[in-house]
Amino acid sequence: MISPVLPSYSRANLSFVKGEGSWLIEADGRRFLDFASGIAVMSLGHGHPKVVGALIDQANALWHTSNLYEVPQQQALADRLVEHTFADTIFFCNSGTEAAELAIKMARKYRTVTGAPDRMTILTFEGGFHGRSTGAISAAASEKLSAGFGPLLPGFRLLPFGDHDALRDAASAPDVGAIMVEPIQGEGGIRPLPDQCLKGLRDLCDEHGLLLILDEIQCGMGRTGKLFAHEWAGITPDIMLVAKGIGGGFPLGALLATEEVARGMTAGTHGSTYGGNPLGCAVGGAVIDVITADGFLDAVNAKAGFLRQKLEGLVASHPDIFEGVRGHGLMLGIKCKIPPGEVVAAGYAQAVLTVPAADNILRILPALTITEDEISEGISRLDAAASALENRASAE
């Protein structure tokens, strides 16, 4: 079928008409167990009553005014985020990429207003992902993201992942002003920075006066069992990027920062027509209320332990397909011995949804609200998918 949609995605031949919690349903009624969550977006599953209720109430009251006026829902969500994080100040936008763009601008502006305009370089890491804008692909700078889109934005220095010596050298260079990193690489293949390394990064930033910019767009909002992944390491960033899970499916992103680092961002320096609109902020408020409610993250941690144990069992039963589990909380990856896209496709045949990532990883990103029974069901479907792949191999 010829489609007028730009073919920049290779899509599976699946389409859903309804979502219920951890389930997606096709028009013919076939139910898929959702271990993908729209790539870590549907943090509270499909159709969560509090989230839907917040959207409907706000839709009935008021959709959009403008950032020319006060937006009380935006204020309320900012208050909630400040209460639960290191941040003093927040800018709302509509996507992760927009948050990453602002982080780059803010880090540069900070150097300008503090009289260090020669410290514009931002260190980034191989396998990183910060979005698809020119700035974001320049930051991540992989061939896959950036081929043919040059000239890229200058001002980034890409470092190998896990090379401490290279990092130490680069951090002391006089032109460097910031480090931008995901606490757990998502697209790069569920590669966590160990807590010790995150602490080390914070120390290095303090030693050299660098800003630590954490991209928690995929790993934040409860996914690792804390509200934000860096909390496990007991450190705080200077700037943090949030999107995906915070909107629970509504396009919403945010940049959180300390007052000091944001000091150059005065009236007129940045903006967004839709950023912080009443609909998105009402939904974000409902999402954060649920995630920060007493006991919610404890339950996520319990489920995460259960899922991990099940995945270890799955890997052990299919040694020709899988080789190990990594990640944290409900952000897990299975290292595959075959292209992970083949496992994803075999999963479709068993009505379970997963996401491939770089480094031969199959991503498992369930809703934070998934039940243990649903986890077990998803695992048995993946088990059937892996068996089908083994039978295919032995028939060849």
Closer of 85 and 95 to ligand PLP (Cβ): 95
Task: Specify whether 163 is catalytic.
Answer: no
Closer of 198 and 321 to ligand PLP (Cβ): 198
- Would you count residue 245 as binding ligand PLP (CB under 6 A)? no
- Would you count residue 355 as binding ligand PLP (CB under 6 A)? no
Closer of 127 and 225 to ligand PLP (Cβ): 127
- Choose the stretch contacting ligand PLP; rule: CB under 6 A; options: 210-218, 316-324, 349-357, 377-385: 210-218
- Would you count residue 96 as binding ligand PLP (CB under 6 A)? yes
Instruction: Determine which residue in the list 215, 252, 276, 386 makes contact with ligand PLP, applying CB under 6 A.
Output: 215
Closer of 54 and 190 to ligand PLP (Cβ): 190
Cα distances (angstroms) measured from residue 233 to each of 226, 239, 265, 381: 11, 16, 29, 34
Taking the complex as a whole, how short is the minimal distance between the CB of residue 391 and ligand PLP, in angstroms? 34
Closer of 96 and 285 to ligand PLP (Cβ): 96
Instruction: Determine which residue in the list 35, 129, 228, 322 makes contact with ligand PLP, applying CB under 6 A.
Output: 129
- Choose the stretch contacting ligand PLP; rule: CB under 6 A; options: 110-118, 129-137, 324-332, 346-354: 129-137
Task: Specify whether 244 is catalytic.
Answer: yes
Looking at 86, 91, 129, 228, which residue is catalytic?
129
179/171 Cα distance (integer angstroms): 8
Q: How many residues bind ligand PLP (CB under 6 A)?
A: 14
Looking at 35, 161, 215, 322, which residue is catalytic?
215
Looking at 109, 226, 244, 310, which residue is catalytic?
244
Instruction: Determine which residue in the list 102, 217, 307, 336 makes contact with ligand PLP, applying CB under 6 A.
Output: 217
Q: Which residue is nearest to ligand PLP (CB)?
A: 96
359/339 Cα distance (integer angstroms): 9
Task: Specify whether 149 is catalytic.
Answer: no
Closer of 255 and 351 to ligand PLP (Cβ): 255
- Would you count residue 278 as binding ligand PLP (CB under 6 A)? no
- Would you count residue 182 as binding ligand PLP (CB under 6 A)? yes
Residues carrying an active site annotation? 129, 215, 244
